[in-house]
Structure 1
Amino acid sequence: MHALPDGWTPGGPLDAGTLRTEYAERPLGTDVRRPRFGWVATAPGYGATQTAYQILIASAPELLTPESADVWDSGKVTSSRTVGVEYDGPPLTARTRYHWTVRLWDGQDLVGPWVAPEWFETALLDEGFAGARWIGGATDGAPLLRRLFAVGGAVKQARLYACGLGYAELRLNGHRVGDAVLDPGFTDYDHTVLYVTHDVTDLLQSGDNVVGAELGRGFFGLTTPNAWRWHQAPWTAEPRLLARLVIEYDDGRTAEVVSDETWQLTGGPTVSNDLYTGETYDARRALPGWDTAAFDDSVWAAASVVDGPRGSLQAQAHEPIRVVETVEPTEVTRVRPGVWIVDFGRTAAGWTTLTVTADAGTAISLTHGETVADGNVVAENVHVEGDRIQRDVYIAAGTGAEEWEPRFSYKGFRYVQVEGTTQRPHVQLRVAHSDVRNVTRFASTQSSYEQFDRAMRRTILNNLHGIPTDTPFMEKNGWTGDAQVGGPTMLATLDLARFFTKWLGDIRDSQAESGQLPVIVPSSGWGFTDLSPATEWPTVYPFLLREMHRAYDDERLLHEHWESLTRYLTWELDRVEEGLSVSVLGDWLPPGYGSGPAPEDRRLTGTAYLYRALIAAAEIGDLIGKPHDYRKAAADLSDGLNRAFLDRESGVYRSGDDPDYRQTSNAVPLAFGMVPEGLVPRVAANLAADVRARGFHLNTGCLGVGVLLPVLTAHGYADVATKVALQRSYPSWLYWFGLGADTMWEKWEEDSRSRNHYFQGTVVQWVYENVAGLRNLDAGWQRILVRPDARDQVSSASIRTDTVRGRVAVTWKRVSRVLSLDVEVPVGTTAEVHVPSAAAADVSAVPAPFAGEAAYVDGYTVYTVPAGLWNFTSRSA
């Protein structure tokens, strides 16, 4: 607990806000048997701390008092914990809504108020799908399934639990159920299958009702031959549905409708659907009203009971994919008769809507791509068979103005080529991605830094579709190396607690019996021998677990993955040769190497990334009390790397077969703490000298790009880092933007095959941590470092981040040599603030009596402060 000066007390009792259960606000349907609770503690004044909490859970909000709480009363628990507080009451009942509240005690043992209650609802738990069966059947289009049933009496509540594979659009009485798309989430279906809970109370009507579903293929039933063999995945099958509708009446009765052979089936107007090739929709086959009770389904076939996937059913916990924005075109150009190119002015992931008036049978195609060449939208994918890529085809019904959008595929694109109509097409962009929260806002007088932030944020979001993908245009695969280098920036930008928890489960599901992990997750089986072993890729597993703990203080995640993690690291260590880890990928796509890595020895980065993974695993083991010897194994790898690649006389890491100096080969050992202590200054100086010699250009690929600028800055070369960041000629980020980029690209070259790829955009982490000056140092933001140490060519910067402990904000502004620094520290966090200055006497703090003693270290006056709003002014910055 942070000690308060004599006579200093917070300005009021502690309150709590932002109540969440399993990181979600009001989760509808959780299968977690001991859910965890979290809140943000708030108080006016300075130095407030939480010393205890009390949680009440009841079956109704009016019962949330210590005298009447009928589910659980935690009692007063002495603890400063505000996240991951685990339920410890009687077993929870399936399909039940629980209400909860909390109150807090502060450092003076003063109790705050009970806060406004929140709720969570359990899903099926051990009850499962009861009598529901998987159903499907052979059809000549995307299957339509429906079931007529009756409702008699006043309905208290109704829940529809459903899993349609690969995707399902659920319908009830003519209305779409929910607003999620491409749902449920993609998994390794041999291990885990996700189902979704829907509140359909308001969609039911007295008398006859119809529940229905249209099913898409997704990665469950993908058929187009492709390099990653998704068409040959062990689970590959035709679409199918599992559903259970539970209706509770006011009088206590319960009725159920479950998927079985009493459902009716037919092929719908979606003739084909594929994640890579697109969709064909024949509007002449549409069946208006098929999802209503009045529709005559007498010619439909009976659904067949089919085998379900092998994976265990779990309630979907991560955010669904949603359409988050609709965008109008910026330009529509007729390039030749019947051919139009639509420019949306931005690179996105999603699809287009089409509104058209045409004769029956008219086929209108929409081809989506990121670039235009020779009067055509470029839509090529060498990894997928056939010449149809990202192309939707709409066949008109001839009924007047017709509007359509696809349901079972998404594309990466900026441009759409529309063919088959002489009329100027009316199309809109529907931006769709996992609906995660933005948590960070950044601003600066250096507009290029703001441009980096916008582009990286957009690129990350464009690659979140239930898994973190590499590109929505080319592959749509969960490359582990991309998340490895991008993870810290992603976690600093967005709330990914639920999203990455889900994907870490996918990693565990993908593990082979040997302990090996593939380079893409999920995997059809591809990536164990294809482009593998590549140590720098699957070592994301321990690294991301540690980063999740750092961001969200999530200890349960560490316990759940420890056994799989240790099996994986055993596999990695067993293949170490002469102190080095063999890797086939290395620093992917540096400048001038547009199809792979530079000629540097890939064992260098492979060994370094395994070293960092072992250090992360050692920290995890310490946290959860598991014995290990990972630090010794890491030390052996460090020794091996330095023996093989470090020229001690010159202070340079180099490969025997590579005559050039590689910035990645030197920046990575510096960043990971592998350089012998006495040689650190020389290795760093050589790195800075190489950057200068190249005219302040980088020569890094995806592994080195994220560490280069932070390493330069940490070793006193912030001016060099800044010149690299603001470089405008090739290779650089501003080179891309000079070519019209609005997202990060895969390659530094103008002919980059993907223009929606985040792994080269990790400069944003440096912008946040070194320009704005905010760094998270400890689990759940308990300790932060404020140190704006990259201030060249910028006169102000600000960042604010909504963490699990509340709002953290840093704003600095410099006028001449006077720098003003404002810092917002939430309850439960301690900030170490480094104020640039020539001497400690040049710095003043407000409120002065409460800032404590300051130290002066290497050009910074250093304060350690608790919760509160702080201002520091330096007269010699």
Structure 2
Amino acid sequence: MLKPGVNAAGFLLGNGFYNLAHRDRFTKLTGSFGPLRAILHLRLEYEDGAVGFVGTNSNWRTQSGPITVGHIFAGEDYDARLMPAGWAEPGFDDSKWRHAVELLRPQGVLRGLSVAGEPLRVIEMHQPIDVKSFSDGTRVYDFGQNASHMPRIRVNGPAGSVIRITPSEVVNPDGTINRNTMDKGNRGNAWWQYTKQSDREETWFPNFYYVGCRYVKAEGFASEADLPVKVPAEDSTFPSVPADAPRSDPDRAARLESIEMAVVHAAAAGTGRFESSNPLLNQIRDLVRWAQRSNMMSVLTDCPHREKLGWLEQYHLNGPAIRYEFDVARIFTKGMNDMADAQTDEGLIPNIAPEFTVFKGAFRAAAEWGASFLLVPWQQYEFNGDRALIETYYPAMKRYFSWLESRSRDDLLDEGLGDWFDLGPAKPGKAQNTPPIVTASAFFYYDAKLLSEAAALLGHADEAKAFAMRADQIKSSYNKKFFDPSRGVYATGSQAANALPLVMGLVDPAQKSRVLDALVRDIEQQGYATTAGDVGFRFVLRALADNNRSDVVYRMVCQREKPGYAYQLKQGATSLTEAWDSNLDTSHNHFMLGQVTEWFYHDLAGIAFDRAAPGFKHAIIRPQLPADLDWVEACHDSVHGPVAVRWERVGRQLTLHVSIPANTTASIHVPSRDGSDVTEGGSPVGRNHAGVRYLRREGDCSVYAVESGSYVFASQWQ
């Protein structure tokens, strides 16, 4: 960035969530934290060893720029005629610009990279795969993939002519855009708009506004005076109908010469690779991965268009899934700081962080959402071996639990959202099968249990004992209230109601098999379809896989006839949708139901951490082999290096390839009929096999301890 000689620095400021004004365009929420602000502390090191500093003060100058509309929801309008030439170059005359106003109130603390997420970058480019033209001169471009996009355009036409680009996730049968999945209730339209500076060809790339979309509508206008006064939402209620002729003089209107879409998101390194013999599983992984990427911004957003908010339940429910795919430790570290900043004086962790707007009731105070404040640090410890988040936020975690205690009655909590977006007789949204008191109380117990473990890890023995006793009290009350011993089910008997207690440890060991059988029976009765939603589905997956029933998960994931992953692909989705049924009233780029990725890595490939040696310092390799799969190959780049697994079977012969990074160890579970026929590297595994030590027989697997290195096990299997 530096050049020999004199240099200059300038800021181009966007509103983001800092300043959200209401406009006659799509607006999810409004609010302002005051005038836009900037802070700079620049250290300069010279060749002679001298050191200097440049900082922001009232000597800086400010001026309105070419961005006439800059709105995180409504879009970005750019008038190139308003761009001062050379404004950020040495020698620019800014004498007519206003002086910046120095903030006089107590200053904040500039914390920098210690609490910053990954930078946002252009990751790749998408080209149009189809273009459809209409009678009014508009064109709709299909880029083939729903992703977090920003356009790069080349434009011709006279100075002052305008190009407007309107995004959508889906289109109508006639090919016109349908923004129904993006505006959620006719709150207006959104677009990018560029006004030309000259009569020559110009290029433009927006500075701030990104949006999740697959399609864009492009339309040219002769001038801003020709722009329509009122723009329909272009959803199912207020569609835009192409006119019989162009609305503007075609000879004077701006012409779009080319357009490509930049995929933008946080530059977190990829850490996962997964592939299987079933192409459907590979497609589902891609479906989820695109939603992960599209929502991996400065926070983990729910969707990249109508909300862009950091809803916290995704941080823990999808934490393992996204950690297998990307190095998101910095993003989660920032997320914990956001949660701590948002914590109220009473101890509440609100449902969104940063808390840009204050929602009401359970939409601010759901226990299933606030649980991220305890679960994210544990997941970071498990995946990265880093206990810093537990150490830093343990006091604030206790404050949050005290707040939950103040809201509880008879050891139960009813302030929650239940199994949000589950599948029932009504449209997805409000929980239908598993009410808030069931899910919120389960997380109340889970929070107490996690606090006990955190206290023990940090050496607070008395607090560990106290929280463990509290967890036992909540567990007793939970079972008394919700467990039906006559049927062997919890509460409503829904998939989520039975799965949460199984995974969290609420079920009496003597009743565990009955509850698991009830869960499997319900899935079978549903035609191997899930009824669980945002909160419950991860626990359904874990309850089944943890009890060696990945055969049920496999059938549930692969069925195409009822709402689910394969059903979404059948409907044409290219990114995971908000609702299992991909209906057009909900977002088509949402990663909240993407927990299946965890199952791909943790259970199909069998790559798991050992809590006793976190960060994959000791890996547990325990693949599960559904009957219809011939092979699975996966790798996770842990903090110690890549942990790789490939298993394949031909007839009854099973081959298991495992690679363990340097300075780590692993326990490898080799499926086999009785263990007597297991070989490694072509030789029988004896008691003194080099680098391999027999540990035990566990279920239908022989378990071996190995040092770092690459291994090829073989056995006879079924």
SS of structure 1 residue aligned to 2:41: strand
2:208 aligned partner: 408
String of CA shifts for 1:818-876, please: whole Å, max 9, x gaps: 10111112234332211111101121233741322242222111112222222211123
Q: Distance in 1 between matches of 2:300 and 2:98?
A: 39
Task: Answer yes or no: is 1:284 the counterpart of 2:81.
Answer: yes
Q: Rate the CA distance shift 1:310–1:602 in 2: closer, same or farther, 3 A.
A: farther
SS of structure 2 residue aligned to 1:212: coil
Structure 2 matches for 1:699-778, cutoff 5 A? 699-752=531-584, 753-778=586-611
Contact 1:485–1:706 (8 Å) recurs in 2 = yes
Q: Distance in 2 between matches of 1:224 and 1:689?
A: 51
Q: Distance in 2 between matches of 1:652 and 1:596?
A: 22
Q: Distance in 2 between matches of 1:649 and 1:856?
A: 35
In percent, how many aligned pairs have the same letter? 29
1:62 aligned partner: none
What TM-score comes out, normalization by structure 2 length? 0.89
Contact 2:605–2:645 (8 Å) recurs in 1 = yes
1:10 aligned partner: none
Contact 2:362–2:416 (8 Å) recurs in 1 = no
Contact 2:156–2:256 (8 Å) recurs in 1 = no
1:399 aligned partner: 199
2:11 aligned partner: 213
Structure 2 matches for 1:2-81, cutoff 5 A? none
Structure 2 matches for 1:420-569, cutoff 5 A? 420=220, 423=255, 425-527=257-359, 529=361, 531-569=363-401
Q: Rate the CA distance shift 1:314–1:385 in 2: closer, same or farther, 3 A.
A: farther
Alignment partner of 1:784 out of 619, 625, 637: 619
1:652 aligned partner: 489
Q: Rate the CA distance shift 1:310–1:600 in 2: closer, same or farther, 3 A.
A: farther
Contact 1:228–1:524 (8 Å) recurs in 2 = no
1:257 aligned partner: 54
Alignment partner of 1:239 out of 25, 36, 39: 36
The one-letter code matched in structure 2 to 1:552 is: N
Task: Answer yes or no: is 1:614 the counterpart of 2:448.
Answer: yes
The one-letter code matched in structure 2 to 1:802 is: D
Q: Distance in 2 between matches of 1:696 and 1:727?
A: 7
Q: Rate the CA distance shift 1:563–1:525 in 2: closer, same or farther, 3 A.
A: farther
Q: Note the C-alpha offset of 1:599.
A: 4.6
The one-letter code matched in structure 2 to 1:633 is: R
Contact 1:722–1:792 (8 Å) recurs in 2 = no
Contact 1:722–1:790 (8 Å) recurs in 2 = no
Q: Distance in 2 between matches of 1:718 and 1:280?
A: 50
Task: Answer yes or no: is 1:860 the counterpart of 2:665.
Answer: no
SS of structure 2 residue aligned to 1:312: coil
String of CA shifts for 1:397-441, please: whole Å, max 9, x gaps: 233111112112221111111112664552111111110010111
Q: Distance in 2 between matches of 1:308 and 1:472?
A: 35
Contact 2:412–2:444 (8 Å) recurs in 1 = no
SS of structure 2 residue aligned to 1:293: coil
SS of structure 1 residue aligned to 2:318: helix
Q: Rate the CA distance shift 1:393–1:530 in 2: closer, same or farther, 3 A.
A: farther
Q: Distance in 1 between matches of 2:701 and 2:46?
A: 67
Q: Rate the CA distance shift 1:401–1:621 in 2: closer, same or farther, 3 A.
A: same
2:111 aligned partner: 314
Contact 1:744–1:758 (8 Å) recurs in 2 = yes
Structure 2 matches for 1:620-639, cutoff 5 A? 620-626=454-460, 627-628=462-463, 629-639=466-476
Q: Note the C-alpha offset of 1:774.
A: 1.4
Alignment partner of 1:602 out of 407, 430, 436: 436
User: RMSD of the TM alignment (CA)?
Assistant: 2.2
SS of structure 1 residue aligned to 2:502: helix
String of CA shifts for 1:623-676, please: whole Å, max 9, x gaps: 111242222222222222211111111111123xxxxx4111111111212111
1:90 aligned partner: none
The one-letter code matched in structure 1 to 2:138 is: V
Contact 1:808–1:825 (8 Å) recurs in 2 = yes
Q: Distance in 2 between matches of 1:310 and 1:514?
A: 25
Contact 2:17–2:356 (8 Å) recurs in 1 = no
String of CA shifts for 1:109-130, please: whole Å, max 9, x gaps: xxxxxxxxxxxxxxxxxxxxxx
Structure 2 spans left out of the alignment, 5+ residues: 222-249
Task: Answer yes or no: is 1:574 the counterpart of 2:406.
Answer: yes
What TM-score comes out, normalization by structure 1 length? 0.73
1:193 aligned partner: none
SS of structure 1 residue aligned to 2:615: helix
Task: Answer yes or no: is 1:814 the counterpart of 2:649.
Answer: yes
SS of structure 2 residue aligned to 1:589: coil
2:188 aligned partner: 387
Contact 1:813–1:820 (8 Å) recurs in 2 = yes
Q: Rate the CA distance shift 1:707–1:720 in 2: closer, same or farther, 3 A.
A: same
Alignment partner of 1:357 out of 133, 146, 156: 156
Contact 1:829–1:867 (8 Å) recurs in 2 = yes
Q: Note the C-alpha offset of 1:216.
A: 1.0
Q: Distance in 2 between matches of 1:713 and 1:303?
A: 59
2:631 aligned partner: 796
Further displaced range: 321-330 or 253-262: 253-262
The one-letter code matched in structure 2 to 1:211 is: A
Contact 1:775–1:785 (8 Å) recurs in 2 = yes
Q: Distance in 2 between matches of 1:512 and 1:239?
A: 25
1:346 aligned partner: 145
The one-letter code matched in structure 2 to 1:353 is: R
Q: Note the C-alpha offset of 1:530.
A: 5.7
Contact 1:840–1:854 (8 Å) recurs in 2 = no
The one-letter code matched in structure 1 to 2:436 is: R
Contact 2:273–2:635 (8 Å) recurs in 1 = yes
Q: Distance in 2 between matches of 1:407 and 1:603?
A: 45
String of CA shifts for 1:12-55, please: whole Å, max 9, x gaps: xxxxxxxxxxxxxxxxxxxxxxxxxxxxxxxxxxxxxxxxxxxx
Task: Answer yes or no: is 1:296 the counterpart of 2:64.
Answer: no
Task: Answer yes or no: is 1:670 the counterpart of 2:502.
Answer: yes
1:274 aligned partner: 71
Q: Distance in 2 between matches of 1:495 and 1:720?
A: 30
String of CA shifts for 1:676-707, please: whole Å, max 9, x gaps: 11111111111111111111111111122222
Contact 1:319–1:434 (8 Å) recurs in 2 = yes
The one-letter code matched in structure 2 to 1:512 is: T
SS of structure 2 residue aligned to 1:531: helix
The one-letter code matched in structure 1 to 2:582 is: E
Q: After TM superposition, which residue ranges in structure 1, 4 or more long, deviate above 6 angstroms? A: 225-229
The one-letter code matched in structure 2 to 1:841 is: S
Q: Note the C-alpha offset of 1:480.
A: 0.6
Contact 2:19–2:34 (8 Å) recurs in 1 = yes
String of CA shifts for 1:721-753, please: whole Å, max 9, x gaps: 211011111212001001111211110123252
Contact 2:8–2:89 (8 Å) recurs in 1 = yes
Contact 1:532–1:584 (8 Å) recurs in 2 = no
Q: Distance in 2 between matches of 1:528 and 1:499?
A: 27
Q: Note the C-alpha offset of 1:230.
A: 5.6
Q: Distance in 2 between matches of 1:800 and 1:544?
A: 23
Structure 2 matches for 1:184-195, cutoff 5 A? none
1:84 aligned partner: none
